[in-house]
Chain A
Amino acid sequence: MKTCGATPGGPDLAGVDLSKQAVIQGVVLLDGNSDSVPNGRPATTGYVRLLDNNGEFVAEVPLNEHGQFRFFAAPGKWTVRALVPGAQAQVEASAAYGQAVELTISL
């Protein structure tokens, strides 16, 4: 996948005890040339919401300077929804202890 210098996936997991945390993280990339391929620059202004399997809001974080986000969820199915000025998109994710789910959300 071409990412034009963006770091694939979410923030560095150093210091996170994955045996006790069900992490969902990733990066939001703008569609640089409108071809539905996430090859644009990271979206540095925007928010990512975590919704449970009933669509209920659980958490929200702002994107960092690299377009990244992280949630400490519980094991199970979740919806991850990105909001940036003028665009939004969502993906589904299954979280579990012992692993970090890495997402790339393209807009």
Chain B
Amino acid sequence: MSRAQALVTADWLEEHIDDPNVAIIEVDEDTTLYEKSHIKNAITFHWRNDLQDGLIRDLISKQKFEALLSKNGIANDTTVVLYGGNNNWFATYAYWYFKIYGHGDVRLLDGGRKKWELEGRALTTDIPSVSPTRYVAKERDLSIRAFRDEVISSIGAKNIVDVRSPAEYKGELLAPAHLPQEGGQVAGHIPTAKNIPWSQAANEDGSFKSDAELAELYKKAGVDFSKETIAYCRIGERSAFSWFVLHELLNLKNVKNYDGSWTEYGSLVGAPIEVGA
């Protein structure tokens, strides 16, 4: 994978905005912004309501994913372009999700909703009509997903990248600062994890830094590109952003997103934890 295959620019999207083979999806944890306005022809996926199982903590099943895409008019050969607020956190999570289920052509709008808005590009309230399809997903590709046991056995062996803010890494906050600091889990980070906040990979407008800047960022922080890497955050969406950088933009192999992340790890009985810088 490379930047040219994984990312589209706002100019590209404007040129393809009416292309019937392009599906534009705004993904976020709060879809009220979509209701306020969105990019022409975009549909919306809600991170929790559409993409979480709802009963157990997991991705939706293959059958539910197929039904979701089918009812939204997405075919197996559709070019899917994802974007969202929150600097594309949930859009990159959805990108990772589409890769888990083996979608062929999925891309991310560089800079997401924020860059689009700050550039004064057109938004609409019109809801597009879609024609249902019969989408067939592949079995889950777990080569890009880490689970807790692998994370614990990777301490001191693989690169573990904590992409949360320094305050969360140090154990001063349990959640990003625009969310209530709730939850009974302990604070801190996984031992040996390097704190490389997702935000350091992005420009202020939400677009990604250059490949050279990104490679330098991770190398300087001590990530050994010859080793396997696991990224985590709080619920797996910011780490999907950093997974995207490492696996899709920098084309590194063996990079996994630990979507259980701190809400799981920080609640495990007996799991090793460190606090402080």
Q: Which residues of A contact B199 (CB under 8 A)?
A: 56-57
Q: Are B197 and A56 in contact (CB under 8 A)?
A: yes
Scoring A residues 62 to 84 as 1 if CB is less than 8 Å from chain B, else 0, what string do you get?
Answer: 10010000111110000000011
Q: Which residues of B contact A56 (CB under 8 A)?
A: 165-166, 197, 199
Q: Are B118 and A57 in contact (CB under 8 A)?
A: no
Q: Which residues of B contact A65 (CB under 8 A)?
A: 36
Which one of A1-9, A29-37, A47-55, A99-107 contacts B?
A47-55
Q: Which of B33, B117, B172, B178 is A71 in contact with, Cβ under 8 Å?
A: B178
B150 is an interface residue with CB less than 8 A from chain A = no
Q: Which residue of A lies closest to B180 (CB)?
A: A72
Q: Are B118 and A85 in contact (CB under 8 A)?
A: yes
B 234-277 contacts with A by CB, 8 A: none
Q: Are B178 and A50 in contact (CB under 8 A)?
A: yes
Q: Which of A46, A60, A86 is B87 in contact with, Cβ under 8 Å?
A: A60
Q: Which residues of A contact B165 (CB under 8 A)?
A: 52, 56-59
Q: Are A57 and B197 in contact (CB under 8 A)?
A: yes
Q: Which residues of B contact A45 (CB under 8 A)?
A: 117
B176 is an interface residue with CB less than 8 A from chain A = yes
A61 is an interface residue with CB less than 8 A from chain B = yes
Given A56-B165, A59-B165, A50 contacting B197 (CB threshold 8 A) = no
Chain B interface residue count, CB cutoff 8 Å, equals 27
Once bound together, how far apart are the Cα atoms of A46 and B120, in whole Å? 11
Once bound together, how far apart are the Cα atoms of A102 and B200, in whole Å? 28
Q: Which residues of A contact B200 (CB under 8 A)?
A: 57
Q: Are B87 and A52 in contact (CB under 8 A)?
A: no
Once bound together, how far apart are the Cα atoms of A49 and B205, in whole Å? 11
A21 is an interface residue with CB less than 8 A from chain B = yes
Q: Are B178 and A60 in contact (CB under 8 A)?
A: yes
CB of B220, distance to nearest CB on chain A (Å): 15
Q: Are A59 and B177 in contact (CB under 8 A)?
A: yes
B69 is an interface residue with CB less than 8 A from chain A = no
Q: Which residues of A contact B180 (CB under 8 A)?
A: 21, 72
Once bound together, how far apart are the Cα atoms of A72 and B204, in whole Å? 21
Once bound together, how far apart are the Cα atoms of A52 and B172, in whole Å? 12
Once bound together, how far apart are the Cα atoms of A60 and B36, in whole Å? 19
CB of B145, distance to nearest CB on chain A (Å): 26
Q: Which of B117, B118, B120, B177 is A73 in contact with, Cβ under 8 Å?
A: B177
Q: Which of A50, A83, A84 is B177 in contact with, Cβ under 8 Å?
A: A50
B114 is an interface residue with CB less than 8 A from chain A = yes
Q: Are A72 and B36 in contact (CB under 8 A)?
A: no
Q: Which of A50, A54, A72 is B181 in contact with, Cβ under 8 Å?
A: A72
CB of A44, distance to nearest CB on chain B (Å): 9
What are 29 A-B contacts with C-beta separation under 8 Å? A21-B180, A45-B117, A46-B118, A47-B118, A50-B178, A56-B165, A56-B199, A57-B197, A57-B199, A58-B167, A59-B165, A60-B87, A60-B178, A62-B85, A70-B178, A72-B178, A72-B179, A72-B180, A73-B173, A73-B177, A74-B167, A74-B172, A74-B173, A74-B177, A83-B114, A83-B118, A85-B117, A85-B118, A86-B120
A residues neighboring B (CB under 8 Å)? 20-21, 45-47, 49-50, 52, 54, 56-62, 65, 70-74, 83-86
B residues neighboring A (CB under 8 Å)? 33, 36, 85-87, 114, 117-120, 165-167, 172-173, 175-181, 197, 199-200, 204-205
What 8 new A-B contacts, CB under 8 Å, besides A47-B114, A65-B36, A71-B178? A46-B118, A54-B166, A57-B199, A58-B176, A61-B178, A72-B177, A72-B179, A86-B120
Which 6 residue pairs spanning A and B have beta carbons closest together? Answer: A57-B199, A59-B177, A59-B178, A61-B178, A58-B165, A59-B176
